[in-house]
Structure 1
Amino acid sequence: MSIYRKVQAVERVFSSLERDLATFKNATGLQCVSGCGLCCKKPDISAAALEFLPLAYHLFKEGQAYQWLEELDTSSDDPFCRMFRPFLKENESGFCSQYKYRGLICRLFGNAAVLDKNGEPKLVTCQTIKTEKQLVYQKAVQHIAEGRPTPVMRNYYFQLRAIDSELGMKLMPINQAVHEALKIVLSYYAYRKPRRA
């Protein structure tokens, strides 16, 4: 499968997830606390390279892939996500500089469930939501307990792995995942012309 087709397949998974998340958020009211960004400040976020293939392809098309690769190489000791902006400037709406191309983990955390050892879905969210949005949090927990439609993390990871099991299976630090995705795209197009999209 070509890189372009893989990017399209990943984007279809993301689109499906966004619809599922919208349904869940509309039913429960659960959303991130505006302007928080604490989850982006975690130094141990793991991801698969496949999650960032759309980002790498976008950066390649924009002529920024080599610059990003170089910056990731020179800041390889920095554990924080390269896309994260710790300080917002006036008129900026969020902490992620590449929000449209963020990875699967970024889309799922806070608004999805994992299956516990008994196969029951349990909400995975942050302490901020649990304390600052207690009623909404409880409503979401109740929603899940009633067996109503809930995004379950593993389902979307399975969908990614079906696209490319090797690239979708191996988890690594988020910057390394972005780095790997960039190398894959750059290697693929070293002797090919990219599709126009």
Structure 2
Amino acid sequence: MATGYYLQDNPNPNAGQYGWPRNRVSGVVGIHTAENNTCFNGPDPGDADVARFIAGRSDFGSYHVLVDADSVTPLVHPSWAAWADTTNNAHAMSVSAAVAANDWLAMEETRRRQVVINMAAAAAELVQTAVRDGLLDSPTPARRITPAEAIAGSRAGFYGHGETNPSTRYDPGKDFDWNLFLTTYAGYIGGGIATVGDITPERPLLIPGVAGLYL
């Protein structure tokens, strides 16, 4: 019977992309970009393309949910760990956009905003599922947390992948609209915004050494 979660319904035969069944999660949610080729106009195939890539890749890297400009693809139920961030896979959840972090400002504004809004909607659905299924007591607050808190799972909230892995990762990038994300997410969960904006000094947007997808 289909679960509605892409990676569970299409298990990777080369490298399992989820595991470690969990009875509880911390409420920490990582925000990522998949670093695929950004689609700048027309129907967006990004989340479908990245989902297929993850389902066949021979190394490890996945998320709980993936979005693009016009769709959302749940990949893994939050009761399973996804391989999104080596620092906190055991307790965290993850949301990724099928774009490259360098491309936020190269996108037309309406399309860029829609990707971020879809990320917020996906994050709300993810944490509400965790609450419904007894993994969390209440939805993750609409706030940024520090890298230390994200790694330890000591405070529920949102962080960027590059904040916990600054030497190798930079997503979702310096141009990611945290204000829009948190404001929209707060509206979906019916809660206020505890913190908006950066909580660490802005880091330069690093350019990956190898072109193409990375997770």
TM-score, with length taken from structure 1:
0.26
- In our comparison, the structure showing a higher alpha carbon Rg is 1
From the two aligned structures, give the one with the greater strand fraction.
2
Question: Does 1 or 2 have the higher relative contact order (CA < 8 Å, sep 6+)?
Answer: 1
